[in-house]
Amino acid sequence: MSAEQKRRALITGASSGIGKATALAFAKAGIDVALVSRSLEKLEAVREALEHSGVEAKAYALDLGQISQVREKIQAIAQNFGDIDILVNNAGIGYTGSLSETPLSDWQQVIDLNLTSVFECITGILPSMRDRGRGTIINIASIAAKQAFPYWGAYNVSKAGLLSLSQTLAQEERDRGIRVTAICPGAVNTEIWDTQTVKVDLDRSKMLNPETIAELILHTVLLPQQAVIDELTIMPSAGAL
């Protein structure tokens, strides 16, 4: 890839799961990567794994749950790393529980992380994409954005909102050369199933793996500029959600 074709990506939730797999896939394709997540230690491990690829990779610790700081810090990351051509909004939280028993604080945390932080990341990067007349924004939603699952209420709503955000942004920015894609995977075998906010017992061997989603993300990014995948749904063939 020539210097003129060199692209730079910012990936949130890059320390594990889909984010980490996407960073590795991007690096193999020659795309420089700004790695964003809460844990600098985990990010540094990912950055070290990318070193042999010859791309530039930097780690930036950022808690996206601190909503009031997200836009400013994302702008600072872009200023430090260089103009961002690709934004992958992958970070998020899983949450299970009946709507009637969901505390407002939990509801707000899910909406903040899965939806509002994405909005803030986008608004932090969008002006520079507009200035250059190009950019690709990929939002990792979920099959839950299209199909409500019982006891996943806050999560369902946050992902449905993210899908609507993606659709609206795509319409508003298409004429400015900015492509927007929403990816809606079924169950993916990541650390989300090990977190305290998710209390379900599913057969993880039947889920998609993060590398499969990363391949789709890379394929979307590498499409010719005049083409865009507006929305993509991918489900496990083995029968998981």
Could you tell me the two tokens for 194? 């090990």
CB 137 within 8 A of CB 180: yes
Give the DSSP per-residue string, 129-146.
HHHHT-EEEEEE--GGGT
* Cβ(214)–Cβ(186) below 8 Å: no
Q: Are strands 135-140 and 178-185 parallel, antiparallel or unpaired?
A: parallel
CA gap 237, 241 in Å, rounded: 10
Strand partners, 36: 12, 60
CA 194 to chain centroid = 19
C-alpha pair distances (Å), 208 with each of 31, 149, 153, 166, 216: 24, 18, 22, 23, 12
The alpha carbon dihedral of 201, 204, 209, 210 has a sign of positive
Q: Which of 60, 95, 151, 155 is catalytic?
A: 155
Looking from the CA of 152 toward its CB, the CA atoms found within 13 Å total 19
Which residue, chain included where needed, has tokens 């929305």?
Answer: 231
Residue 155 among the catalytic residues: yes
Which residues does the annotation mark as catalytic?
Answer: 155
